[in-house]
């Protein structure tokens, strides 16, 4: 597994899969191996992965090397460490930070759950634009969902989701309505699709008549347009989302460093 490393197994198995020309440190290779197991579903979201000692034994490296690999996975929010208990596969379900990717927060105070209303959930063929974003071919099957999220009864977010049809075969509006908690949790539970990172492009736009009606604002009102592309492991895009946020009582919060 190691391309070269000093003490452990210096001459051991020449590693038939050593087709990697570029050097990478041992702990990166270990990280990659753990990543592959995560991707393959060897451990389900919320479950514990093997202890550092076990992994060290499995991969024939020291605990410190495994630790450094896991450190990086934890920094990327792929995995969650809990002292005295173990290391757990991150999930959108009961992660203490629910709605990890939603950065819209109320201007003051807290708010309860979001009320979801599904306006549409249908299968169609990918437009050129959607196909490009999701790395599909134009005309490939996709699922489109349109919904409104309300906080304390006020419609605040109008969004469209596009999902690759092959990965979300059985998705129905009923399922979306029935499910409690983050939609990304549903994707994990029902379709085995885990979103691990996303990129957002944010703009200010004016509401058109239809959007204004759905959000209960005057036509032409300024709205935050948030286009999000979400990725599973290995940088595979699995969801395109276009959201319109009302920002009269909420704001998009971002921390820079």
Candidates 32, 76, 94, 174; binder of a copy of itself (CB under 8 A) is 76
233: left (phi over 0), alpha (psi -120 to 50) or beta: beta
Q: Which of residues 212-251 bind a copy of itself (CB under 8 A)?
A: 220-225, 228, 245, 247, 251
198 scored as a contact of a copy of itself (CB under 8 A): yes
203 scored as a contact of a copy of itself (CB under 8 A): yes
Q: Distance between CA atoms of 69 and 65, rounded to whole angstroms?
A: 6
Q: Distance between CA atoms of 200 and 207, rounded to whole angstroms?
A: 19
Residue 8, contacted partner among a copy of itself, DNA, none, CB below 5-8 A by kind:
DNA
| Sequence-distant (≥ 6) Cβ neighbours of residue 121 within 8 angstroms | 143, 144, 145, 146, 171, 172, 173, 176
5 scored as a contact of DNA (CB under 7 A): yes
Mask for 14-53, x = binds DNA (CB under 7 A):
---------x-xxxx--------------------x-xxx
| Sequence-distant (≥ 6) Cβ neighbours of residue 52 within 8 angstroms | 63, 66, 67, 70, 87
Of 163, 85, 177, nearest in space to 124 by CA: 163
* Smallest distance from DNA to CB 70, Å: 7
Residue 109, contacted partner among a copy of itself, DNA, none, CB below 5-8 A by kind:
none
* Residues 5, 11, 14, 15, CA torsion sign: negative
Interacting residues toward a copy of itself by CB under 8 A: 75-77, 100-101, 103, 196-206, 220-225, 228, 245, 247, 251-257
Interacting residues toward DNA by CB under 7 A: 2, 4-8, 23, 25-28, 49, 51-54, 61-65, 67-68, 81-87
């Amino acid at each position: 597994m190691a391309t070269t490393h000093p003490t452990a197994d210096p001459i051991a198995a020449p590693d038939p899969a050593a087709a990697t020309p570029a050097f990478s440190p041992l702990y990166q290779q270990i990280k990659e191996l753990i990543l592959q197991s995560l991707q393959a579903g060897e451990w389900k979201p919320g479950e514990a992965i093997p202890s550092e000692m076990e992994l060290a034994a499995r991969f024939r490296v020291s605990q410190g090397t495994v630790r450094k690999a896991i450190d990086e996975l934890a920094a990327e929010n792929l995995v969650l460490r809990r002292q005295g208990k173990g290391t757990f596969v991150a999930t959108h379900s009961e992660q203490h930070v629910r709605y990890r990717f939603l950065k819209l927060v109320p201007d003051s105070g807290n708010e309860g759950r979001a009320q979801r209303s599904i306006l549409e959930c249908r299968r169609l063929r990918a437009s050129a634009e959607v196909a490009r974003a999701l790395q599909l071919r134009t005309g490939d099957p996709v699922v489109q969902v349109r919904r409104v999220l309300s906080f304390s009864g006020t419609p605040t977010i109008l969004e469209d989701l596009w999902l690759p049809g092959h990965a979300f075969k059985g998705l129905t509006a009923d399922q979306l309505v029935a499910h409690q908690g983050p939609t990304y949790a549903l994707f994990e539970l029902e379709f085995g699709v885990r979103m691990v990172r996303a990129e957002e492009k944010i703009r200010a736009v004016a509401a058109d008549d239809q959007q204004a009606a759905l959000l209960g604002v005057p036509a032409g009102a300024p709205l935050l347009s948030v286009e999000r592309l979400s990725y599973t492991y290995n940088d595979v895009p699995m969801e395109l989302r276009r959201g319109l946020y009302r920002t009269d009582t909420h704001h998009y919060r971002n921390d820079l460093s």
